[in-house]
Amino acid sequence: MNAIAQYAPPHSTSLQSGALHIRGLNKVYRIEGQPLPVLEDINLEVRPGEFVSIVGASGCGKSTLLRLIVGLEADYEGDILLDGKRIVATSLERGIVFQDHRLFPWMTLSQNIALALKNHPLSRAEKDRLVAEHIALVSLEGFENAYPHQLSGGMAQRAAIARALINKPKVLLLDEPLGALDALTRVRLQHELQRIWVQQRCTVIMVTHDIEEALYLGDRVIVMDAHPGRIKHEIKVDLPHPRDRASSVLQGYKEHLLEELVGH
Amino acid sequence: MSHILAKSRGLLLPLLLIGGWEYLSRQDAAGAYAFVPLSAIGAAFIELLANGELLVNLWASLARTSTGLALGIFFGVLLGVLMALSTLGNRLIGPLFHSIRQVPMLGWIPLIAMWFGNGEFSKVLIVSLAAFYPMVLNTWQGFSHVEQRYREVGQVLVLNRWQRFRHVLLPAALPSIATGVLQALAFAWVTAVGSELFLSSGAGLGNLMMNAEAGSRMEVIVLSVLCIGLCGYLMTLLFTLLSRHLLRWRNIR
């Protein structure tokens, strides 16, 4: 997997990496003064360009883990290192797509995507070109001036993906990105996510409820346990991308994973 | 046909009212005095239009309302933003603001008249105060209820303070601010005419009414009342259309 040539960002001189090291991570919420452990002793190494899926019951802290990695919560014990640097705040090196698309309803699709470039020292023309490029990447040409309420759920989620990718993040975090979509749209977008990832090759960590989705996209699937959230099991999906959804190998992994989750 | 009927439903009640009015005015002498015949109102309209009295007074009231409204909106939004975005600001100003706004607008008039006399400054001050309260409240409401999920997007995109204000907080608060302006508009118009009734100097629809009362010209009083109602309605309509355009991104189905 590492042998594949890294996608070189057009507007960044630094070499794109994206190695994530999580060591001895603990996270505790305080509810009415009572400590509530959400994550306990999480250790995870993610190689640059790897696609890691995380599955697990609700309450296992999957989303909290993503919020910590993206930098929305800075108060944690242990280490979360991106290329050796400790994560303490949000950064354009890390992008996230939430389950609800979170496009701003007061901006058109292209304005929403362009907002992510707000603090880039690029020229106006350069920014316009990048926005157009990313709208094309998620196949939304023709909807540049539509407001989010005029888009379908799947289209809005594609736009959110484009917004997260436009900064060429080293790490892309996906928090149940397709969870709110209907089954058909979901399959179509899974396919598209795979195509985009093969093209961009950034490190991806995706939280999902859908086992098939986790296996279809992930190089590795991490199974988490709840109360407190911890890593229970890990499966390496040894199958090159792009993958065939109907592959019998995937079927085998699925049975294995189901057994692990339901615990027969 | 049914389309036209549906559109003109709003005219039904006013027409009935006018009919009833005209009927009562034709009953006896007392009725004719209390309910001036429509023809007399029409004659007064033409008379005041011709000698310019109506337009001068209408213009004076409108100008007063606009100035007061602009000032009230500006300072109201400023204070509302300050109270919503600064905890210290809210702690310092909140209690004072909330107790002062309990005083009804009419209650301020004697005090303001004593301080600043009964000239234009006092009237504009009263109008801007009337517009100020709803602006502060609605702006505060809008800015303090911006959804956390949108704030987080601003954080993820590493927007600075000004960018967050400009691209996230302000647009999210805009619908609430528009509601404030709509309320402020109504208050400002009513208070402008009210201040003219109490501080009777200079021009204005309120003054026109006071003078008509002194001269027992019932038809001029009724004409003024009609003017006040119609102008208020038109201003509200105009602003509603404007805000619908500005807030067209909202999903109203």
Look at the pTM and tell me if it is higher than 0.95.
no
- Closest residue in chain B to residue A169, using alpha carbons only: B157
Read off the pLDDT of each residue in A50-78 and give the average, rounded to a whole number: 90
Contact A55, A223 (CB under 8 A): yes
- CA dihedral B209→B211→B212→B216, nearest 10 degrees, is 130
Q: What is the pLDDT of residue A9?
A: 42
Interface test mutation site (partner A, options B147, B151, B156, max chain A beta carbons within 10 A): B156
Residues of chain B neighbouring A107 (CB-CB closer than 8 A): 167, 171, 249
Q: Which residues of B52-79 are buried (b: 16+ CB within 10 A; e: fewer)?
A: ebbeebbebbbebbbbbbebbbebbbeb
Residue linked to tokens 């190089």? A219
**Shortest CA distance to A6 belongs to which of A200, A195, A173, A241?**
A200
- pLDDT band per the 50, 70, 90 thresholds, residue A6: very low
Q: What is the pLDDT of residue A164?
A: 94
Q: Provide the greatest CA pair distance for chain A.
A: 58
Residue of B146, B158, B164, B165 to mutate when probing chain A, most A C-beta within 10 A: B158
pLDDT tens digits along B37-69: 888 888 888 888 889 888 999 999 999 999 999
Cα gap A147→A129, rounded to integer Å = 20
Contacts of B251 in chain A (CB under 8 A): 105, 149
pLDDT (tens digit per residue) in A46-59: 999 999 999 988 87
Question: What is the secondary structure of A55-121 as a DSSP string?
Answer: EE-TTSSHHHHHHHHHTS----EEEEEETTEEP-S--TTEEEE-SS----TTS-HHHHHHHTTTT--
* CB–CB contacts below 8 A, A to B: 54
Burial of A33 (0-12, 13-18, 19+ CB in 10 A): exposed
Question: With contacts defined as CB-CB under 8 Å, which chain A residues touch B156?
Answer: 70-72, 90, 95-96
User: Which residues, at least 6 apart from A132, have a Cβ–Cβ distance to it below 8 Å?
Assistant: A110, A144
Q: Which of A100, A118, A147 shows the shortest C-beta gap to B157? A: A118
Which neighbouring-strand residues pair with B144?
none
pLDDT band at A16 (very low <50, low <70, confident <90, very high): low
Which tokens in the block code for residue A63? 């989303």
Contact with chain A for residue B168, Cβ under 8 A = yes
- The per-residue pLDDT string of chain B (253 residues; one tens digit each, 9 = 90 and over) reads 677 777 778 888 888 988 888 888 888 777 777 788 888 888 888 888 889 888 999 999 999 999 999 999 999 999 999 999 988 988 899 899 989 888 888 888 889 989 998 888 999 999 999 999 999 999 999 999 999 999 999 999 999 999 999 999 999 999 999 999 999 999 999 999 989 888 877 888 888 888 888 888 888 888 999 999 999 999 999 999 999 998 988 876 5
Residues of A in contact with B157 (CB under 8 A): 90, 92, 115-116, 118
Instruction: Give the C-alpha distances (Å, rounded to integers) separating A31 from A74, A237, B135.
Output: 18, 38, 36
Question: What are the structure tokens assigned to A104, written together?
Answer: 């701003």
Among residues 7-26 of chain B, which lie with CB inside 8 Å of chain A?
A: none
Q: What is the mean pLDDT of residues A118-141?
A: 92
Q: How close A200 gets to chain B, by Cα (Å)?
A: 20
Q: In what order do the strands lie in the sheet with A51-56?
A: A94-97, A171-175, A203-207, A51-56, A220-225, A230-236
A32 secondary structure, DSSP code: T
Calculate the dihedral angle through the C-alpha atoms of B9, B15, B16, B21, rounding to the nearest 10 degrees: 160
> Phi and psi dihedrals of A82, rounded to 5?
-110, 115
Look at residues A39, A38, A44, A29 and name the one whose alpha carbon lies nearest to residue A80.
A44
**pLDDT value at A14 more than 80:** no
Which residue type does A131 have?
Answer: V
Residue B118 structure tokens: 């009964």
Cβ distance of A118 and B174 shorter than 8 Å: no
For residue A10, is pLDDT > 50? no
Give me the pLDDT at residue B1, please: 63
Residue A205 has pLDDT above 60, yes or no: yes
> B79: closest CA among B101, B107, B49, B111?
B101
What does the pLDDT average to over A159-165? Answer: 94
**Above 70 in pLDDT, residue A72?**
yes
Checking if the pLDDT of A223 tops 80, the result is: yes
Mean pLDDT, range A136-165, rounded to an integer: 93
The single-letter DSSP state of residue A144 is T
Residue by residue, what is the 3-state secondary structure of chain B?
CHHHHHHHHHHHHHHHHHHHHHHHHCCCHHHHHHCCCHHHHHHHHHHHHHCCHHHHHHHHHHHHHHHHHHHHHHHHHHHHHHHHHCHHHHHHHHHHHHHHCCCCHHHHHHHHHHHHCCCHHHHHHHHHHHHHHHHHHHHHHHHHCCCHHHHHHHHHCCCCHHHHHHHHHHHHHHHHHHHHHHHHHHHHHHHHHHHHHHCCCCCCHHHHHHHHHHCCCHHHHHHHHHHHHHHHHHHHHHHHHHHHHHCCCCCCC
Instruction: Name residues whose C-beta falls within 8 Å of residue B106's C-beta, 6 or more positions apart in sequence.
Output: B194, B198
How many CB atoms neighbour CB A222 within 10 A? 23
CB-based contact A141:A135 (threshold 8 Å): yes
Average confidence score pLDDT of chain A:
88
Whether this model's ipTM surpasses 0.90 comes out as no
Question: Does pLDDT of A102 surpass 90?
Answer: yes
The H or E element that residue A34 is part of is strand A34-46
DSSP structure class, residue A149: G
Angle made by CA atoms B44, B48, B51, in degrees to the nearest 5? 140
Q: Which residue, among A204, A199, A206, has the nearest Cα to A178 in the 3D structure?
A: A206
Which of A66, A94, A106 to mutate to test binding with chain B, by most B CBs within 10 Å of its CB? A106
Please tell me the distance from the alpha carbon of residue B154 to that of residue B136, in angstroms, as a whole number.
Answer: 25
Query: Could you tell me if B210 lies within 8 Å of chain A, comparing CB atoms?
Result: no
∠ CA B111-B117-B123, rounded to 5°:
80
Cβ pair A106:B249 closer than 8 A: yes
How confident is the model at residue B63, as a pLDDT?
Answer: 93
Residues in CB range of A261: below 8 A, 6 or more apart: A55, A56, A57, A211, A223
Rounded CA-CA distance B129/B76 in Å is 9
Nearest-CA distance from A249 to chain B in Å?
37
pLDDT tens, residue by residue, B110-145: 899 899 988 889 999 999 999 999 999 999 999 999
